[in-house]
Amino acid sequence: MFEYFDEHQKVFSSIDKLRNQVNRGQLRWGPCHTEKFWQENFILFDRAENLQMIKKIVDDCLKPEVDDRVKAVACFDLGEFSRFYPNGKMILERHDVKKKMTELMQSKTVSSEVKKEAITCYQKLLMNSWSGGL
């Protein structure tokens, strides 16, 4: 099974899988929501249709009525986008992501998982370089 997964990891973690999840508004933890995915795929966000996914994550996946798991994964993805994509922080700044992360951190209605991911995303937005440890 491990060999099969290794051989097909690109299929399971492709930008198309991320696009499908974003379009459905159903972000779930998995291969396309990892540091490795963002390291390998950040360059694909030079394409307008892929960069549009970031806007959709910000606009659609952080709304109060959205499932907490979706919000947590969205926070993670936005943080990784800011780490790896050149100008990622500037793009997210235009979408008021720091403000949205602050609102999530202060919310009394979101889970601790969402708060943790929002805090981590906010830290990534502030850092010049991120090594994963504090």
The pLDDT score that the predictor gives to residue 11 is: 46
The pLDDT score that the predictor gives to residue 100 is: 98
Residue 35, domain CATH: 1.25.40
- The reply to whether 103 falls in a domain is yes
pTM: 0.86
The pLDDT score that the predictor gives to residue 5 is: 53
The burial class, CB within 10 Å (0-12 / 13-18 / 19+), for 80 is buried
Q: pLDDT per position in the chain (134 positions), as tens?
A: 656 555 555 444 489 999 999 999 999 999 999 999 999 999 999 999 999 999 999 999 999 999 999 999 999 999 999 999 999 999 999 999 999 999 999 999 999 999 999 999 999 999 875 555 44
- Cβ neighbors of 104 (< 8 A, separation 6 or more) are 62, 71, 75, 110, 114, 115, 118
- The reply to whether 93 falls in a domain is yes
- The reply to whether 13 falls in a domain is yes
- The reply to whether 131 falls in a domain is no
- The reply to whether 121 falls in a domain is yes
The pLDDT score that the predictor gives to residue 14 is: 80
The pLDDT score that the predictor gives to residue 2 is: 57
Q: What domain range includes position 105?
A: 2-126
The pLDDT score that the predictor gives to residue 112 is: 97
Number of domains in the chain: 1
